[in-house]
Structure formats: C-alpha cells, structure tokens
Amino acid sequence: MIKMVRMKEVSQKVHLSFFAKLLICFTFISIIPVLVFGILSYHFSFNNSMRELEQQSNAIVENSIDNLEHAIEEYIKALSFFCADEEVISILNSKEILKPAQTAVYQKMYILLATRPETVAMHVIKADGTFSVSTAFLPEIYDVEQHYDWGVFRELNKSNDAVIYSNRFTSPIGKAYCMTIAQTIKKGGKIIGYSIIDIPEDVLETILASSKSIQPISYTVIDQNYYLLYNRIFSTNDIFLNSKLRGSLSASKSTKRFYMENPQRLITWGVMPEKTSLTIIASVPVDLVVMNNNYIAGTTVVVVIIAILICILVSPIVVHILTRPLNEIVEVMKKVQQGNTSARVLVRKKDEFGFIASHFNMTLDKLNGLYETNLEKQNRLRLSELKALQAQINPHFLYNTLDSIKWLAKLNGVNDIGIMVSQLGRLLKNSIHNQNDSIQIRDEVALAESYLAIQKIRYGDKFEAEIHVDENIMPCVVPKFIIQPLVENAIIHGIENKIGKAKLMIRGTRKNDLIIFEIIDDGVGINEEKLVTLNQRAEENEESKGSIGITNVDKRIKLYYGEEYGLNIISLENVGTITRITIPFKEGYSVKEKEVGQA
C-alpha cells in the first residue's frame, strides 16, 4: 500500500506536457538509429580492418617463407656445384696444397659468391684440418681437429646432402651471423673436405624484407628446437624462445596467429618445409589499425553529433507544428477557466483536433446559455446573504459600545462619556448614511481609530495602540467593517484578560498583488486546541459565541473576492495573537452590489 502511494506521488510530481512527450519521442526516434548506426559502423570497420590485417600478415609470412626457401635452395645448388667440381676435389685430395692450388680454390669461391651479398662468408676446410681457406675469417668453431664431432661437422658427417644449421656467432669485426649452409666434398664416397657458407643477419633480414608490405613488419626466425636464429620482435637475451611464447605458438597451430600486448601487435607465423624446419614469425603493430579506426570513430562521432544537433533543432519545430492545434485548445480552456467564457477555438483543419475544437466550442455555447439562465437567481441569493451579514455586525457592535458607555458612566465623569458618544456617533453615521458595501481603506482605518478612541477611554492605560498603514493602499476600496471587528476581538479576548499593560498594532501593507492587514496584540493568546477550532469554524463559516465578528469578516471577504482570500489566525498562549487579512490589490476598485453579484 505504501509503495503504491509513493508511486502515485512520483507520478504526480513527474508531469510532462504532450509537447514534451512528443518531443522526447521524436528525439529518441531520430537519435537512437544514428547512435546505433555509428556504433555498428565503428564495430564493423574495426573488425574488417583486423581481418584485412590478419590476411595481409599471413600472406606476407607465406611470401617470406617462399623467399627464404628460394634463397636457401640457391645457396644449396651453388654449394652442390662447387663440391662436385673436379679441380676442387683434386686439390683437397692431394697431400700437399701449393699456393697456385689455393689461389684456384679462392677463385672458384669468389665466382660462387659473385652474385651474393658481400657479407656472406664462405669457407673450404680439408677433412684432416691441414688446409683451410676463407673469404672472410675462419671462426674457431670450424677447427676440425677440435670439433670433428660437434656442431655443423657432426651434422655433415651424418648427412649425404647439404645441411642447414642454426649457427649464431659474431666475427671479430662485429658482424653477426645466424645461419650456416654446408656440404661435404667427397672422393670415392670418402669425405675429403667441407664447404661452408655463413649467412649474416643483414642478408637474412634483406631476404625476409623482400616481401612487399605497406605495414611495418618485424621478423623472428627459429628452428625446430626454438633456437633463435634471428630476432627482431621479442625483447630477450636468451638464445631460445621462452615457454610462454612456445605455448602461444602451440595454441595457435590452426590459425597461425595470436595477439600480444605492450605494445599491442599481431603475431603471425609459418613453418618452412621439413628440409629446413625453420619457423618465420612476423609482428605487425596494431596501433596503426587502432589509429585508423579512431579516425573513423572520430568522423562517425562528428557525423552523429551533427545529425543529433539537426534532430534537436528540427524536432521542436516539427512538434510545435503538430501540437499547435492542441495548444490553441488548451489556451482557450485557460481563458474560460479564468472567466472569459466568450473565448472560442479557431478551427483550422478537419482532422481529429478540428473535431475536438468544434465540439468544444459547441459545449461552451451551451454552458453559456445555462450560465446566463441561472446567473440572476444566484446573484439575488448572494446579495441577500451579504446584506444579512452586513446587518449582523451593526447590532453586535452597538451592543458592546453601549455596554462600554454604561460602565464608564458608573466609574467616570461626564466629559469622558461625551467623548465616547461623539466617537460612537461618528461610527453610526458611517454605518447608517453610507449604504455602499465598500469603503476606502483610509475611511476603514478612520473607523478603527474611532473605535480605539472609545476603548482607550474605557480601558484607560490598559493598552497602547499603533496604526501603520501604507499610504499607497489608502485609496483602495475594500468591504466595509473588516478591520474594526478584528480590533474589537483582540481587545476583548486578548488584552482585557491580560495582567498588566498591553500593546495593539494595526498594520497594512502591499505585497506583490495582495493587500495584507495584520491586527497584532500581545495579550493572553489562544491555546492550540482552541485555535484549531477557531480556524476550522472560520473556514466552515460556523458562528459561535465570541467568534461572530471573525466569521462574519472572513465570510464576506470570501464572497467578495473568492475562497483563496480571507482570514488567518496565528497565536501562542501567553504570547499574543496575529489576525491576518489577505485580499487582492486592485487600485481604484470599487465593490458594488452589482459587481459582487457578477463575481
């Protein structure tokens, strides 16, 4: 039950006009498709770019494998031709190799390397280690006597064909070598020598980079034992690929690709034929794709924002055009509610709004007819009630005044009685000769002053009275006898029973479009229970002993001006009471019997 009440309260607070609802609908209908289109465009663009990048990278790896395989085959063919040369076999098979023979071997080696990069090194070593010749320098690892059953020699001794051997070393001049291609030189099936070609890293890099690509690609080459022949991708000082990367390679056997972070990059790889068993790994940075997609995303965002702004600008115009007939009907309703029953809706089109407008006009015509029929009867009843209320105040006031004169006659001399009778005559003169129900505020204040003069004589120094009324509201016209009864009530029920001297103040001000009168006393006040009862009776126009004047004033004000105006009483027991009158400010307004009837 509590939840339902809260929901009801929320629904009452959140109130949107039809224009706002329609504008929200238009905005959502126009903005959501644009946003969805932008998000989907970015998503599909990014995925498509990544697919293209993966396809390009895979193609580059395959091309690199083909290029390296072709280069190795060319070196193998050259070595096979060299190792089958009869002159070379004869020279290595001789017991003593003289200088001319050594020169002849040199010439054949240079002829073999004539079309190769300058940094490629070639060595010819006799099987017993007594003779060796090299185009560069002969590394210590090619000492046959020391390493006959180690490294490349071990592989050559076991194979009848050329050997591709993973062989990383650095020359004394700082040249880094990564691969060796070697073949034995035989005579009658016996190994008489070895022919070795060392491939440096720059040559291998040139072979790999010969695959044309618009992407900046880095390469790493490993053998079947994960030995790093060439590495431009991974930051490591180890000679073997670490276990984590091995796992990534193993896990991506089907796709031959995976992604790495810091920096983000795409890793694609491929394996050369079993003869070489080398794996070529290529690394492509993804940041270019991300930048490209960020550019696309930025462009999409700009387009979306422009589209949204256009929707925001156009939607209110469209909605305004659609809701204008409804707004015109609402405006006419407001005018009718304010009392302009002659207002009518201009019927522009014969649509649903035109149907509502025409029938609304017909309803107003019928209501005006009924209103005019009953107006005269209602005016007569209200005027009679006002007259009765106006007549009610005079005997009540006269009774209390005469009672004061009676007590004064007993207690004081003739002079004071003369003053009281004079002031009473002034009051009666206004009551009898002024037949209008309205009076200027300055005259109403004068009546209150006369009444206070009489009560000052009666009570002596019992209380002090002050009147502060704004001069700007003095010409305004109000119902007669709305202040004096409240002053009388303050003296009799607030000040009279107070022990000691009291103070009474009449204050009149203008606040915006309201005139506010306050009768303030510091008398005995009213307890909370009695105050609630008094206010309730005033609201219900219920008269009781001691509250005739209050109820009379409140009821007359409501009849003149409406239910939102009238009296309000604020009081604290033993502190005092404030009786406040609230009426509308209307400069030069005159309350006449006929006007009251039409209110």
At 535, which CATH number? 3.30.565.10
Residues of the chain with pLDDT under 70: 1-19, 22, 26-27, 30, 34, 38, 42, 211-214, 274-275, 288-293, 295-297, 373, 375-436, 537-548, 588-599
Are 272 and 409 members of one domain? no
Instruction: Report pLDDT for 56.
Output: 84
Q: What is the pLDDT of residue 519?
A: 95
Residues 492, 577 share a domain: yes
Q: What angle do CA 441, 442, 445 make, to 5 degrees?
A: 85
Which of 259, 285, 311 lies at the terminal end of a domain, its last residue? 285
Domain annotation covers residue 334: no
> What was the pLDDT predicted at 592?
44
Q: Residue 129 domain-assigned?
A: yes
Instruction: Give Cα separations from 256 to 267, 275, 289, 424 (angstroms).
Output: 8, 20, 20, 117
pLDDT, tens only, 49-82: 778 878 888 888 888 888 988 989 999 999 999 9
**Total of domains in the chain:** 3
Quick one: pLDDT at residue 194?
Answer: 92
pLDDT given for residue 5 in this prediction: 47
Q: Which tokens go with 131?
A: 């003779």
Distances in Å between the Cα of 515 and the Cα atoms of 365, 449, 475, 504 are 36, 19, 12, 20
pLDDT for res 173: 84
**Same-domain pairing of 95 and 162:** yes
**195 and 230 part of one domain:** no
User: DSSP class of residue 240?
Assistant: B
> What is the pTM for the complete model shown?
0.49
**Residue 461 pLDDT:** 86
**Rounded Cα distance, 599 and 590, in Å:** 13
Same domain, residue pair 490 and 463: yes
Same structural domain, 494 and 584: yes
- Asked whether 437 and 592 are in contact (CB, 8 A), the reply is yes
**With 0-12 CB in 10 A as exposed, 13-18 as middle and 19+ as buried, what is 398?**
middle
Inside any domain, residue 302: no
Q: Is 250 found in the same domain as 162?
A: no
**143 within some domain:** yes
Beta strands 502-511 and 463-469: pairing type?
A: parallel
CA dist., res. 229 & res. 269, Å (int) = 15
Domain limits for position 159: 84-204
Last-in-domain residue among 285, 303, 331: 285
Residue 591, domain member (yes or no): yes
Choosing from 181, 204, 227, the residue where a domain stops is: 204
Task: Say if residue 528 is in the same domain as residue 576.
Answer: yes
Domain match, 469 and 506 both: yes
Q: Are residues 456 and 574 in the same domain?
A: yes
Residue that has been written with the tokens 């207002």 in this structure: 343
* Residue 393 · residue 551 · CB < 8 Å: no
